[in-house]
Amino acid sequence: MDFLDLILRLLGPIAILTSVLVSARMIRQQMRANYNLTIRNKALNYSLYSNEHLRDARMQVEEVFGSMFSIKEAIPMGEIEKKMESHPKLHVSILTLLAHWESMALAIESDVASDEVCFDMVASTLIQHVKIFRNFIEQRREKNPRIYCYLMTLRRRWEEKLIETQRASLPPIMTDFAMSNPIFPRKK
């Protein structure tokens, strides 16, 4: 009876310890899930569609220049200035978009926003806006070299990351070649 009594006395604390460990693990997983959700929600604030003012600015720019992704190179400054004369709100809309991206870049640099989540959500849009308004940005930087500093740094880094991501998603050339060439038989 002493041995059975000893086992029964040990099982109680072991069961309690096990339930405490399982509960702690579940709480940790829930905290991690909440943290990830918070990061994604913060990143949504950097979407151009989450804010009515930003949405209007983007629509104004696209109304004047057409779809941003259909423009293949930087818009000449002369063309931008000419469009600004006939569309008085265009200047403010361009400034709004670029200020938004600069704020996001600063938030990422300061670890307020998640680089990874923002990259997944808006990298190609940010890169495209910087590309087409490059001349506008450069003209403003001539007067104030610090303006758009975080934006330009982020654009450069994201552009490299986007290229690497695209390369990584391509299948190896040798695999495609080997499968189509009778000299290299398929392994079974």
pLDDT tens string 137-156: 999 999 999 999 999 999 99
Q: For residue 178, name the pLDDT band (cuts at 50, 70, 90).
A: very low
Q: Of the ranges 11-20, 38-47, 126-135, which is most confident?
A: 126-135
pLDDT greater than 60 at residue 186: no
CA dihedral 140, 144, 145, 150 (to 10 degrees): -80
Mean pLDDT over residues 11-28, rounded? 89
**HSE value, Cβ hemisphere, 13 Å, CA-based, for 103:** 13
pLDDT greater than 90 at residue 32: no
- Given a contact cutoff of 8 angstroms between Cβ atoms, the answer to whether 10 and 18 are in contact is no
Residue 71: predicted pLDDT: 94
Give the C-alpha separation, 146 to 177, whole Å.
49
Give the C-alpha separation, 95 to 65, whole Å.
15
Q: Is the dihedral of CA 36, 42, 43, 44 positive or negative?
A: positive
